[in-house]
Amino acid sequence: MPVNHTNNPISNDVLTPIDILILSNGPGELSTWVKPVVQELRQRFGVREYRISVVLSPCPNASGQEGEIARTYPEVDRVQDATHFFPFLLWGKTAARWDWRSKGIVLFLGGDPLFPVVLGRRLGYKTVVYAEWETLWTGWIDRFAVMKQKLVDNAPINDRHKFVVVGDLMSSSAVEDKTIVKSINPVIGLLPGSKAAKLAQGVPLMCEIADQLQSYYPDLKFVLPLAPTLTPEQLAQFGDPDQNPIVALMGGMTATLHRSPPELPSESAKDWLETSGGTIIELKILGDDGPRTPHYNTLRRCTLCLTTIGANTAELGALAIPMIILLPTNQLDAMRAWNGIPGILANLPGLGSLFAKAINTIALRKIGLLAWPNIWAGRSIVPEMVGYLTAEQVTEKVRSYFDHPERLEAMKKELRQIRGEPGAAQKLVTIVEELLNELT
């Protein structure tokens, strides 16, 4: 049923004539798609001309903190969490009973591609979809902003006029910050992930890798950019064998959290993990690099990053930072973030572990490219280490690059070549602007 805008007693088309409703879902989409787009929207249109709302839908990779992350974006006027999504989709009512203007645009930046179709019709708004790999419901969507020309070529002929190639939003999110941070000593970035299933294996494994590398390269520094959904205390739990039994499977290396006294000024405060071997891993908390560009300055310091799979590989690729992808299967039932029925089965109470082991065993036999730069290129640019991993294996891989720095430079050069031209957010907002002009 369409929303009745006229009878809404709190609607005020004078103050905010047009609504921009952004649909999104996971943490990767928020940081690499939504963030650069809302920044460009505000830069283009100012503070009060249009109201920006973010509505989140459920995502198998979500942490539950996505709403809080979106609320830290000063460009966004209001946010609804994923737990309230389906009543809004079905009945058009948000949990806070938001009012909606008579004119607006639904901008799709993550989730099920059917959602903008339904909500666009319900609200009577124009619809814009950003798409990386496929486009659906082309007859029902007003405009498509796509990553590659291939999506235009594969679209129905009658709908191709709706398509514009804008490039990669993930690349746009990272390259917008032009600040360059140089480091005197080589730095390795450690990105174990944000979900417990990855952290349980990733934290102890990376701690032992750091300890082994330190013995070969005494001047080597280590930095761990903390995911926005984690506190240092939560991270440290995964280096404690009393709280994380997987430590024993990953080599037995433990880690202890150290925090600066609270009375120290923020610019002097530091947090770090100290491995049981005495290696220091500096922690970087969201906002240390500035509120608008989380961790980009920290990542730019890195000579090489060890990272799990996910949106972080796209950000590293956009920054042209060499990386090695680690997907340990020492605990075979750890990976449970599958989409659809496999994800439901893997997360069932009681039987979930058995399903997860079976699903992951099958998936590992058929697994393809995992890192976004490799997926974009259709070939292996950054190494992917998958299976039962030991710190010794990864350490030798890192040494092969450190002892032959020309290999690091070659990887960096290839990452620059595939990341595409910057400006995807600007091009996408231009499409939005064209539709807004039709409404006014």
Residues β-bridged to residue 345: none
| Residue range 53-64, pLDDT digits in tens | 999 998 876 767
Closest Cα partner for 198 from 333, 353, 361?
333
Question: Hey, what CATH topology would domain 187-418 get?
Answer: Rossmann fold (3.40.50)
How far apart CA 219 and CA 235 sit, in angstroms, is 25
422 vs 332 pLDDT, higher one: 422
Token digits for 333?
């039932």
The rounded mean pLDDT for the chain is 83
What residue ranges do the domains of the chain occupy?
A: 18-170+422-439, 187-418
The reply to whether domains 18-170+422-439 and 187-418 share a CATH topology is yes
Range with the poorest average pLDDT among 74-88, 133-147, 241-255, 416-430 = 416-430
Listed residue (377, 371, 275, 378) closest to 324, CA to CA: 371
Most confident range, picked from 116-130, 195-209, 238-252, 322-336? 116-130
Q: How many Å is the Cα radius of gyration of the chain?
A: 23
pTM here is 0.68
Residue 419: partners with Cβ closer than 8 Å, 6 or more residues away: 168, 171, 175, 317, 318, 320, 373, 376
Q: Identify the pLDDT of residue 345.
A: 47
Report pLDDT digits (tens) over 140-166.
999 999 988 889 999 999 999 999 999
Q: Does domain 18-170+422-439 have CATH number 3.40.50.2000?
A: yes
